[in-house]
Structure 1
Amino acid sequence: MLHTTNHVIKHKAGLLNLAEELSNVSKACKIMGVSRDTFYR
């Protein structure tokens, strides 16, 4: 369970960092294969 939690946290952190780098949430979500709705949850 801890491994799964760490994986989810790292994935979210990576997505947030990418969105910041690109200054574009939509592009970051598209690259990472995540919906914008999920991003804002």
Structure 2
Amino acid sequence: MIHTKDRIIKHKNGMLKLAEDLGKITKTCKMCDVSRDTFYRYKEAVLSGGEGVFFEKDWRVPNHKSS
């Protein structure tokens, strides 16, 4: 069984590999339906921490509602 986190991590790594193969960031972002800003954040994270960085970091930002 594939867990949700596993699918997301595979998508991110796959997107970076696709960009490498195509050589075109804009086309890759359109195919994967992500913004270029998001692509470059993922790429920077991998360059600074390796592919395992997606396992360690929680990309969600907590939403603290004020009472």
Detail structure 1 runs of 4+ shifted over 6 Å in the superposition.
none
Cα RMSD, aligned residues only: 1.4
Structure 2, unaligned runs of 5 or more: 42-67
C-alpha separation in 2, matches of 1:25 and 1:5: 24
With normalisation by structure 1, the TM-score equals: 0.80
TM-score norm. by structure 2 comes to: 0.54
Which residue does 1:20 correspond to in 2? 20
1:7 aligns with 2:7: yes
Code of the residue aligned with 2:31 in structure 1: it is I
2:53 equivalent to 1:31:
no
Structure 1, unmatched stretches of 5+, are none
Compute the displacement of 1:6 (Å).
Answer: 0.7
**Structure 1 counterpart of 2:8, which letter?**
V
Equivalent residue of 1:34, what SS? coil
